[in-house]
Amino acid sequence: MGIDFTGGSLFMVLLLFAAGLLCIIKGGDLFVDAASWIAEASGIPKFIIGATVVSFATTMPEMLVSVFAALQGNADIAVGNAVGSVTANVGLIMCVALICMECAMTRRQFGVKAFLLLAAILALFGFTRDGQLSVLESVLILVIFVGFLVESLIAARQEQGSELPAQEECPKIDKKTVLLNIGKFLLGAAGIVLGAQLLIDNGSALARMLGVPDAVIAATMIAIGTSLPELVTTLTAIKKKQASLSVGNIIGANIMDLTLIMPLCAVIQGKPMTVERQGMLLDIPACLIICAAALIPALVQGKFKRWIGYLIGGLYIAYLIIMFTCFGA
């Protein structure tokens, strides 16, 4: 149970919810930077850091929000955040990226990752038709994550091998730098943990005040909020005219969200993860439809065209309308 600092005030709930988002975003930045430095200082090759350490670190905010919510018995927030983040990444962030700039990517670049993402959503869709995700089913989905990790390492290794060989320089290591990065690591981790708890407590309070289910708040405000770092990365990539980098990051982040968050919630609890009516009938099917609408045409055409951005944006708006119309009361 969280501690109520709000006194029942809507303003305070919104303020603490915003503070939770800020803690998660800034804590995530510090955590990623420090984790990358520590790994590099330990002599781990950069291609491994990029494919593993950074990917894990950037998924940490969404993961902790859902894990904490599941452990506190709030399955609606756990599922809504996990699936809603993926839907927001594609229907909102990828939509913005493609409308601003078409993206040419070879099937070799994204074909395997696109297949793994669709496989993860289909597995989640099939496994949760009975209203729960069992521990065994979670382990099977984690196998997809292992496949993604292996593919990322191979791709990163090949990319490194295609570049001119260069001697990797270890970062400067002195007492001050070590203490600074350990401090950033601990402060970032604390910020993510504090932010996750603030989002759960005040997301639930906000749902009660507005008279909507926790799942609606989780799939909208919390999911979009925890996706803000991806939005910033996307806008930066667009500014640098590197749309393919943005799309690749979104696909990779979505695979990790789908194959890690809900399965870990079930495994950590040691019992099936409950998927309520909204998640089973709307959130997961909508995630499948929006992701398929983004990936299948691109796989066929070998390019993410602008019309795909308009399509997935329209589908995301329709998803939100159906959610608030059918489940918002």
Give the chain's domains with CATH numbers: 10-162+175-326 (1.20.1420.30)
Give the per-residue pLDDT at 127: 95
Question: Closest Cα to residue 190, out of 2, 39, 15, 26?
Answer: 26
Pairwise pLDDT comparison (192 vs 135), residue with the higher score: 135
pLDDT band at 278 (very low <50, low <70, confident <90, very high): very high
**With the C-alpha atoms ordered 130, 135, 136, 137, is the resulting torsion angle positive or negative?**
positive
Give the per-residue pLDDT at 61: 79
Give the per-residue pLDDT at 296: 93
Pairwise pLDDT comparison (18 vs 166), residue with the higher score: 18
Least confident of 92-101, 146-155, 166-175: 166-175
* pLDDT greater than 90 at residue 309: yes
State the amino acid at position 167 in one-letter form.
Q
215 vs 269: CA distance, rounded Å: 20
Pairwise pLDDT comparison (106 vs 299), residue with the higher score: 299
Give the per-residue pLDDT at 115: 92
C-beta neighbour count of 115 within 10 angstroms: 16
pLDDT band at 248 (very low <50, low <70, confident <90, very high): confident
Give the residue-averaged pLDDT of 238-245: 70
C-beta neighbour count of 326 within 10 angstroms: 12
Secondary structure tally for the chain: helices H, strands E: 16, 4
* pLDDT greater than 90 at residue 46: no
* pLDDT greater than 90 at residue 4: no
Pairwise pLDDT comparison (7 vs 45), residue with the higher score: 45
DSSP H/E element including 249? helix 243-256
In this structure, what are the phi and psi dihedrals at residue 273, rounded to the nearest 5 degrees?
-85, 120
Q: Is the pTM of this model over 0.85?
A: no
Give the per-residue pLDDT at 286: 96
Strands (E) across the chain are located at 103-104, 132-133, 273-274, 303-304
Least confident of 4-13, 132-141, 283-292, 309-318: 4-13
pLDDT band at 1 (very low <50, low <70, confident <90, very high): very low
46 vs 233: CA distance, rounded Å: 20
Least confident of 216-225, 233-242, 253-262, 283-292: 233-242
**How is residue 65 written in tokens?**
């929000």
Mean pLDDT value across the chain: 83
Contact between residue 5 and residue 201 where contact means Cβ atoms under 8 Å apart: no
Contact between residue 111 and residue 136 where contact means Cβ atoms under 8 Å apart: no
Contact between residue 323 and residue 220 where contact means Cβ atoms under 8 Å apart: yes
Pairwise pLDDT comparison (198 vs 248), residue with the higher score: 198
Give the per-residue pLDDT at 164: 46
Q: Is 270 left (phi over 0), alpha (psi -120 to 50) or beta?
A: left
Give the per-residue pLDDT at 293: 96
Pairwise pLDDT comparison (55 vs 66), residue with the higher score: 66
17 vs 202: CA distance, rounded Å: 6
pLDDT tens across 66-125, in order? 888 888 888 888 898 899 999 999 999 899 888 888 776 666 778 888 999 999 999 999
pLDDT band at 55 (very low <50, low <70, confident <90, very high): low
* pLDDT greater than 60 at residue 2: no
Quote the percentage of the chain above a pLDDT of 70: 85
**How is residue 22 written in tokens?**
């800020």
Give the residue-averaged pLDDT of 270-278: 89
